Structure formats: C-alpha cells, structure tokens
Amino acid sequence: GEPAPLASARGKVVVAGVTISNPDKILWPARDGHPAITKAELARYYEAAADRILPHVADRPTSIIRAPEGVGGETFFQRHAMPGSNPRLKLIDVHERKPYVAVVDVGGLVAIGQSGGLELHPWGCAPGEPEIPDQVTFDLDPDEGLDFEDVISAARVVRKKLEALGLHPFVKTTGGKGLHVVVPIKTDARSRVTWDQNKAFAKGVSEAIRAEAPDRFTTTLAKKARGGKIFLDYLRNGRMATAVAPWSPRARPGAGIAFPLAWTQVKAGLDPTAFSLRTYPALLKKPDPWKDFRVSAVSLKGALKKL
Ligand code: ATP
Ligand code: MN
Ligand code: MN
C-alpha cells in the first residue's frame, strides 16, 4: 500500500537528500505472495525509522552487512571506509589499522541503504566512546528443533536473573531465530566498567543461569553442545563485539527487522515475523517500548559485586 517511489522520468529518487541509484533494484525477492522490496523502499524505511534507530547506533563504530545484489547474492561485512563510501558516514579512530565507520544522522542511514547496506551492527559502547561499554547483551540462540516458545521462556529466565541483580533488562527480536535481552548500564566516570568487566559480567550471569537449569541452557559455543538447549551467547560484550541494532533490517528472506518489544509481548503467540519491512508503517505508529532504555541505566559495578 506504499506510494510508488518518486521516480521521475529520469529514474531518480532522492531520500533525505541522498540520491538513490537503481531505485527499483530488488533487495528482498518476492516470497509467499509478498511483493519484492526495492532499494528505494529500503531507503524510505531508513528515513522513516531514523528516530527509532539513531539512539541505538549513532556515533558507535558499526559493521554494516552489505548485499548489493540483494538477499541471495553475495554479502559482506563493511567495517571501514571503502572507495566510494559516503561522506555522510563518520570515521572513528579505534586505534586499529583503519578507522571504523559510524552513522550520525538520517542522511547516513539512507546512504547505507543506497550502498545496499541491509544490516546495522554497532558496538555496545557509549556514543563517541569506543572504550566505554553502555550495555550488556544476552544473545539467546536456540538449538535447531527448539520452538520459539522455548526462546520466550528462556528470555523470561534471563530477565528475572538480571532484575534480581538490580538491573532493567529490555528485549528485542533479532529478525532471526532468537531474542536479545539487553541491559543499559551507566557510563559516568564513577559507574563505568571496562570491556573485560562487561564481558565477565555477561559470562557470569550466563553461567549462573546454566547452573540452575543445565538441561535447558548451555554456555558452550560449540554447536554439538547445544543438543536441544538454548545457547546463552555472552560473547557480544567484549571490545569490538557487535549485536544487530534495534530496527535493523536483516539480509534474510522475509525482510524481518530486529524489533524492540515490551516484556508484556514476550509470551505465547509472539510471532517475530510480524516485524518486517512490509509491516513497519503500522509499527512506527505505536509507542516505543524502548523509549526509556537510556534513562533505565544502572551502574554495573553493584551487580558485578552481587554476582
Ligand atoms: P539470531 O536470532 O538468528 O541468532 P542474531 O543477530 O543474534 O540472530 P547471531 O549469529 O547469534 O545472530 O549473532 C549475534 C551477533 O553477533 C550478530 O547480530 C552480529 O552483530 C554478530 N556477528 C555474528 N557473526 C558475525 C561475524 N561473522 N562478524 C561479525 N559479527 C558477527
Ligand atoms: Mn543470536
Ligand atoms: Mn549468537
């Protein structure tokens, strides 16, 4: 039901000041009776969702999954500036060989869409502060054969554990098979922790949960250890580790997006495929359940002690 792209006779589409070349290029092929999604539509999505995306990605080093030929074609992670990279993207020096790219505004998001950037994977750091973690992510990865209901109940277990430690966990879909439980943490000089502490906390919580229900959870990366369990992937929390951003599209069939939820939605019947590039206009009309994400931050130091 979206209006047709504002394609002129010259085939030119401009979104948020960015000229979209090949606007009719198909990025997500038609599937199950759903129409294909073009590059112009991706650009319009980034513009429409910018206010929801930017608080979670702006000014953090961000890996971009690019699929210039669309889903099903070749994909690659872009971390650095590349020839032809858009000047709208900022470069952040993280003391590696090359600077990392970061988005700062809506034009940058649309420029990513223009270059076939389908997924946004920021560091878990504070804006402009690559050495300061500002969140802890628990990436719940179900073994094949588990139902989404198992992921839902696992997320509730993780939530309970984190709340018992005085933290305020949030939850999002990934646009894939699992859920992410994400805890905002304080970054002021007194409260901040190191990347090693951040990762140690995520590992400690994950191992405590596994110890309480070893038949349901594993913390071992090896696929063969998963046998019918949820892998609590705590490895999203070190320096340079990334997780998919809230509202990021996924370069997978179905055009799902990683969608921020309220805990009241995390119950039987939750259908993560309901959140997609095909349903976003209605989703954007609803209040943002992660509106209070940043102001809910707690110092991780106290929680580390309790653990
Ligand atoms: P799903 O719910 O299907 O597991 P996901 O986004 O959690 O979706 P994972 O494979 O569990 O996917 O990966 C978790 C995160 O780890 C990703 O969101 C991504 O940011 C990061 N990641 C995964 N693979 C790579 C990789 N090869 N290079 C860099 N980062 C990666
Ligand atoms: Mn995962
Ligand atoms: Mn994972």
Condensed to tens digits (0 to 9), the pLDDT of residues 59-69 reads: 999 999 999 99
As a whole number, mean pLDDT of residues 249-276 equals 97
Question: Would you say residue 8 has pLDDT above 50?
Answer: no
Q: Are residues 221 and 298 in the same domain?
A: yes
Does residue 171 sit in helix, strand or coil? strand
Place of tokens 């646009």: 175
Pairing state of beta strands 129-133 and 125-126?
antiparallel
Q: Are residues 203 and 300 in the same domain?
A: yes
The confidence band for 1, taking pLDDT boundaries of 50, 70 and 90, is very low
Q: Are residues 61 and 79 in the same domain?
A: yes
Domains held by the chain: number:
2
d(CA 78, CA 48): 23
Structure confidence at residue 81 (pLDDT): 81
d(CA 19, CA 5): 12
Taking residue 10's Cβ as centre, other Cβ atoms within 10 Å add up to 6
The confidence band for 10, taking pLDDT boundaries of 50, 70 and 90, is low
d(CA 57, CA 120): 8
Q: Which residues have CB under 8 Å from 238's CB, separation 6+? A: 195, 196, 198, 199
Q: How close is the Cα of 242 to the center of ligand 1, in Å? A: 8
Q: Are residues 139 and 70 in the same domain?
A: no
| pTM above threshold 0.80 | yes
Ligand 1, pocket-test mutation among 242, 252, 275, most atoms within 8 A of CB: 242
In a domain, 69, yes or no: yes
Does residue 213 sit in helix, strand or coil? coil
Pairing state of beta strands 230-233 and 135-142?
antiparallel
As a whole number, mean pLDDT of residues 4-12 equals 55
Structure confidence at residue 107 (pLDDT): 96
Structure confidence at residue 87 (pLDDT): 81
d(CA 56, CA 54): 5
- Give whole-number Cα distances, 262 to 2, 44, 169, 173, 257, in Å: 27, 25, 10, 11, 16
d(CA 188, CA 254): 40
Atom of ligand 1 nearest to the CA of 243: 20
Question: Would you say residue 285 has pLDDT above 70?
Answer: yes
In a domain, 61, yes or no: yes
Taking residue 263's Cβ as centre, other Cβ atoms within 10 Å add up to 14
pLDDT tens per residue across span 99-156: 999 999 999 999 999 999 999 999 999 999 999 999 999 999 999 999 999 999 999 9
- Angle subtended by helix axes 148-164 and 195-212, to nearest 10: 120
In a domain, 286, yes or no: no
pLDDT tens per residue across span 26-63: 999 998 889 999 999 999 999 999 999 999 999 999 99
Q: Under the phi-then-psi rule, with left for phi > 0, alpha for psi from -120 to 50, and beta for the rest, what region is 112?
A: alpha
Ligand 1, pocket-test mutation among 223, 244, 259, most atoms within 8 A of CB: 244
- Give whole-number Cα distances, 305 to 199, 200, 239, 267, in Å: 14, 12, 21, 31
Return the exposure string of 91-121: e unless at least 16 CB atoms fall within 10 Å of the residue's CB, then b. Answer: ebebeeeebbbbbbbbbbbbbbbbbbbbbbb
What CATH number does the domain containing 173 carry?
3.90.920.10
Q: 8 phi and psi, to 5 degrees?
A: -85, 180
In a domain, 162, yes or no: yes
Comparing CA positions, the residue from 22, 41, 43, 14 lying closest to residue 30 is 41
Structure confidence at residue 11 (pLDDT): 64
DSSP H or E stretch at residue 173: strand 170-173
Sequence letter at residue 112:
I
Structure confidence at residue 37 (pLDDT): 98
d(CA 144, CA 230): 9
d(CA 181, CA 154): 10
In a domain, 26, yes or no: yes
pLDDT tens per residue across span 200-234: 999 999 999 999 999 999 999 887 778 899 999 99
Does residue 302 sit in helix, strand or coil? helix
Does residue 67 sit in helix, strand or coil? coil
Q: Which ligand is nearest to the CA of 234?
A: 3
Question: Would you say residue 25 has pLDDT above 60?
Answer: yes
Structure confidence at residue 83 (pLDDT): 66
Sequence letter at residue 184:
P
Length of the chain as a residue count: 307
Q: Are residues 166 and 78 in the same domain?
A: no
Question: Would you say residue 9 has pLDDT above 50?
Answer: no
When mean pLDDT is compared across 95-104, 193-202, 239-248, the lowest value belongs to 95-104
Q: Are residues 208 and 84 in the same domain?
A: no
Q: Are residues 100 and 187 in the same domain?
A: no
Q: Are residues 115 and 142 in the same domain?
A: no
- Report residues whose beta carbon is within 6 angstroms of any ligand 1 atom: 63, 77, 121, 139, 141, 174, 176-178, 233, 236, 242-244
Atom of ligand 1 nearest to the CA of 244: 18
